[in-house]
A and B are shown apart, each in its own frame.
Chain A
Amino acid sequence: MDYNQTDYNVIPNLEDTLEFEDNPDQRTPCVLLLDTSYSMAGEPILELNQGLKIFKQTLMEDSLARRRVEVSVLTFGGQVDLVQDFVTADQFNPPTLHASGGTPMGEAIDRALDRVAMRKTLYAQAGIPKTLPWVFLITDGAPTDDWQRAAERVHRNSEAREMALFAVGVQGADMHTLGQIAAPNRPPVKLAGLQFRELFAWLSQSLRQVSRSTAGVQVALPPPKDWAEGWGQV
């Protein structure tokens, strides 16, 4: 896959319509909604990129997760980019992200929720079972655009169990605003230092567990061990 090809925004990916035939397994969709604004430049973005590699590795160690966990990457740094449309973990190539621009977080959240809704429609058409979609938001700043409308949508979608949004604030993040964006039952978590690797190891472990859930059996997520400052209830 060619990662310079970030124009999924413009050119619809029609291969979507074929993938469920090859792999009719249940899906666990996860959108990584990543802040790549200028303030992430330097060590944070390097650590984030390392984290993505570990994320991929850890998913690949699990023969079910690699077929079932679907990853999509949306970045917001200056503009919102769909860097990776949904693919199963085995097809996922961790991108190398660069930091620049402002923090259009509201627009990014909106796009993520759109993508999730479209994905769910596709699952329904194909008769593919799914688990609750996750949107994993990581930011070190504050939205530079209108985020209130997106926040309302997050709250509505969470209540309706359309998806679950997890927000992680990196050093410097506006935790207050993040708290208003996240649903009340899933308050944001602060990343300890730049522990992106630990964060992504934890996320992939969690997705592995969720991806093996069967009908009626809900999985309890592992507690975040070493990457979070003051973890709430997932």
Chain B
Amino acid sequence: MMNWLCTGVSVQGHGHVRQGMPCQDAQGWAQVNDTLILACADGAGSAAHAEWGSTLAVDKVVAHMISHAVGWRMAKDPEDHQAYLLGTLKGAFQSARDALTTLAAREQVALRDLATTLLLAVVSDGYTAAAQVGDGAIVCSVGGHEGIKALTTPFQGQYINEAVFITQENYTDYLQLQAIEGSARHLALFSDGFEPVAIKYATGEPNPVLFEGLFQFMNDTSSQEVRTEAVTRLLTGKRIAERSDDDKTLVLATRCNEFNEGCPS
């Protein structure tokens, strides 16, 4: 049985405080048997009900993954399992979009009023897979000397202020899907408010010092309360505030080993 320590925090950006906007980011995670599911979403600042969109999208993809993870069996051919995982991620995105469409109809708002990015990661049976539409990124470390890897990257349009959302008709054109062999030891998902410190713009690579520090911290800190407080302080701290006034979300997960005191046994 594989167990995980997970910590996720969303904080309201100063820009949102100033403009009286709520925090429009959302995040969630779940563990079902040996399967880890992590998600986050960043509601568009320009969308009237972005926080509904991001919250519902996260709930839906996590629920979709849970329902498919219950009782799934590793395919005989490992290749099949990889394809199955990627297919399930795709299905999760579609179910989130369908739910947004239903909500928009029920609340009589335009679908674009719920515009949100969506990031989803899953670790299952020796594979780590990720899916994303829009900004933010998913990074992982599989351990050993492989270092920190980006599974997905922030959407890059021609201009920095262009964005894509799952509410778009053609969102699948922008859907990044990635699976790697091996169960990640550590994972991080984050919204674009965290990007300036997390991604080196020059190279597009994740900031290794930051993520190694964060993963080490997850490994060393057994109390969920302490982890949440430390991550909240990081996200609301002045070093990040200097670089971004947007909402910020960070979801961290670390696989338990025999040295983690805080792990459920």
Residue ranges of A at the interface with B (Cβ–Cβ < 8 Å): 10-22, 122, 125-126
Contacts and interface: CB of A to CB of B under 8 A. Distances in A.
Contacts of A19: 239
B226 A18 contact: no
Nearest to A7: B229
Interface of B: 197, 207-210, 212-214, 217, 220-221, 226, 229-231, 233-234, 237-240
Contacts of B230: 11-14
A126 B216 CA distance: 14
B209 A14 contact: no
B226 A10 contact: yes
B159 to A, nearest CB: 25
24 contacts: A10-B226, A11-B230, A11-B233, A12-B221, A14-B217, A14-B230, A14-B231, A14-B234, A15-B233, A15-B234, A15-B238, A15-B239, A17-B210, A17-B213, A17-B214, A18-B197, A18-B210, A18-B239, A19-B239, A21-B197, A21-B207, A21-B209, A125-B208, A125-B212
Nearest 3 interchain pairs by C-beta: A17-B213, A14-B234, A18-B239
A15 B238 CA distance: 9
A51 B166 CA distance: 59
- Grouping DSSP codes into helix (H, G, I), strand (E, B) and loop, the B interface class, with mixed when no group exceeds half, is helix
B212 A22 contact: no
Nearest to B217: A12
Contacts of B237: 14-15
Nearest to B213: A17
Contacts of A20: 209
Contact of A126 (B209, B217, B231, B234): B209
A19 B210 CA distance: 10
A226 B139 CA distance: 56
A10 B229 CA distance: 10
Contact of A17 (B209, B220, B226): B209
A165 to B, nearest CB: 26
Nearest to A128: B209
Given A12-B221, A19-B239, A21-B197, A125 B209 contact: yes
Contact of A14 (B208, B233, B238): B233
Given A10-B226, A14-B234, A125 B213 contact: yes
A211 to B, nearest CB: 22
B178 to A, nearest CB: 25
B228 to A, nearest CB: 10
B223 to A, nearest CB: 9
Nearest to B231: A14
A21 B226 CA distance: 25
Contacts of B212: 17, 125
Contacts of B197: 18, 21
A14 B248 CA distance: 15
A66 to B, nearest CB: 17
B213 A14 contact: yes
A202 to B, nearest CB: 32
Nearest to A16: B213
Contacts of B239: 15, 18-19, 22
A20 B226 CA distance: 24
Contacts of B207: 21
Contacts of B209: 17, 20-21, 122, 125-126
A11 B210 CA distance: 17
B28 to A, nearest CB: 21
A15 B214 CA distance: 10
Given A15-B239, A22-B239, 7 more contacts: A11-B233, A12-B220, A12-B230, A13-B233, A14-B231, A15-B233, A18-B240
Contacts of A122: 209, 213
A14 B226 contact: no
Q: Which of A10, A12, A13, A19 has the most CB of B within 10 A?
A: A12
A18 B209 CA distance: 8
Nearest to A18: B239
A86 to B, nearest CB: 14
A11 B230 CA distance: 6
Contact of A11 (B213, B214, B220, B226): B226
A16 B212 CA distance: 12
Nearest to A19: B239
A92 to B, nearest CB: 15
Q: Which of B207, B214, B234, B240 has the most CB of A within 10 A?
A: B234
A12 B212 CA distance: 14
